[in-house]
Amino acid sequence: MSRILFVLDIGFDRGGPSVHLLQDILKAALQAGHNVDVILKDTGGPDDVMPDELASNTHLSYNAIREEEERKKGFIERYIAEIKYAYKCSKYFLNNGEYDVVFLQSNTVAYFYIRLLKKLNCRIVFNVQDIFPYNLKFSGQLPFEFITFPLLRKLQNMAYRKSDTIITISDDMKQTLVEDGVYKDNVVVIYNWSYDDSLITLESISAENVYDLKLDRSKFNIVYAGNIGKMQNVELIAETAKILSDDQTICFYIIGDGANKNNIEKMTNGLVSVKLLPMQPSKFAESIYAQADVNIIPLRTGGIKTALPSKTATILRTRKPVIFCVDENSSMEETLSCVEGVYFTNCAVPDNLVELIKKLKLQDLRNIDRTDNVLFQKNNAKKYVDVLVG
């Protein structure tokens, strides 16, 4: 059996899109009989830093490093704080003996981690959940881009080259890494998964986990639920709603908060066909997606090359159609276009989304069967472990 070190830049004391993924990977490693050490953050959140079912396992040990919640900081301050955290982590792993392999969670300062982890003389597996700094460049969030992008790209590329294996979460992201100079045989694609593999119906969700959108079932209800930030192209939905504002049979629900929320409010001001709701707790996500006639996942131009929204796996568990608004000719489109009820449209052309919505409104979209969808299943956690110890 192997001794595996997990170096995480989050804690389990707060909810987030990566929490269930990392917990499932840890469980899979323990179930396979491996010894697991974990370094993670304690951000003072409401939940346990390490869940009891993991903490009670005699083959798992962990160190939680107290850190402030990062959302309160600007980019430069966050970046410096992450470098400091990497060095704090090194004080633990350099004094804990020998490891067979290290799992390094996706982060923005990977070069500094890997430079320190190389002192352990073991394999390093780097999990790339989004591709920094391209994600910030495409979304316009990188300060002083003409200076910072070349520098940060160079540092991150050095981290890729020093990693023994890279796991990323889509073929589009793998292609981005390869185009950036990473050897393709060093990159493994394992898609993220949801909380469960079973199909979601509103009737199957317990009452305490149902958020009632109070939909008018005489209308065609289109739902976007999630972060309203720089990478999510919610403006495309707002533009589409404007174009379709004369059609009283269509209603848009935009549910979430984020840096671009005010802009969306301005764009949709006066549109009776648009309902804006605040972000809801994650326990309601399944019920919100299940109530939609159509769910939408919109990304900025270039976004699909650097990330895959965490909601994808959960939405694909519903019996409801989903529209991906992404770059044309993506690997994601090639992979999922054959799945029932999955549609793609150009993220830069609102008229295309308008025409697709008009088309879907006229169809019977009930009872979609996605039981044969195997790409996003929980068994992928075991694939992580196979890569780690393989």
Q: Is the domain of 150 the same as that of 91?
A: yes
Q: Is the domain of 208 the same as that of 182?
A: no
CB distance 377 to 193 below 8 Å:
yes
Q: Is the domain of 16 the same as that of 137?
A: yes
Q: Is the domain of 105 the same as that of 161?
A: yes
What percentage of the chain has pLDDT greater than the value 70? 98
Q: What is the mean pLDDT of the chain?
A: 94
Find the mean pLDDT for residues 170-191: 97
- Domain assignment present for residue 234? The answer is yes
Q: Which residues constitute the domain of residue 92? A: 3-191+377-389
- Domain assignment present for residue 13? The answer is yes
Nearest of 191, 197, 152, 149 to residue 173 by alpha carbon: 191
- Domain assignment present for residue 371? The answer is no
Q: Is the domain of 305 the same as that of 356?
A: yes
Q: Is the domain of 337 the same as that of 311?
A: yes
CB distance 2 to 123 below 8 Å:
no
Contacts of 209 (CB under 8 A, 6+ apart): 283, 284, 286, 287
Q: Is the domain of 326 the same as that of 219?
A: yes
Q: Is the domain of 346 the same as that of 249?
A: yes
Is the model's pLDDT at 372 over the cut of 80? no
Find the mean pLDDT for residues 150-176: 97
| Dist. CA 332–CA 92, nearest whole Å | 39
Contacts of 390 (CB under 8 A, 6+ apart): none
What is the CA angle 385-173-17, rounded to 5?
Answer: 60
Q: Is the domain of 229 the same as that of 283?
A: yes
| Dist. CA 328–CA 11, nearest whole Å | 36
pLDDT for 264 equals 97
pLDDT for 16 equals 84
- Domain assignment present for residue 278? The answer is yes
- Domain assignment present for residue 162? The answer is yes
Q: Is the domain of 78 the same as that of 172?
A: yes
- Domain assignment present for residue 366? The answer is no
Number of separate domains in the chain: 2
- Domain assignment present for residue 211? The answer is yes
Q: What's the predicted TM-score (pTM) here?
A: 0.94
> CATH number, domain at 125?
3.40.50.2000
- Domain assignment present for residue 166? The answer is yes
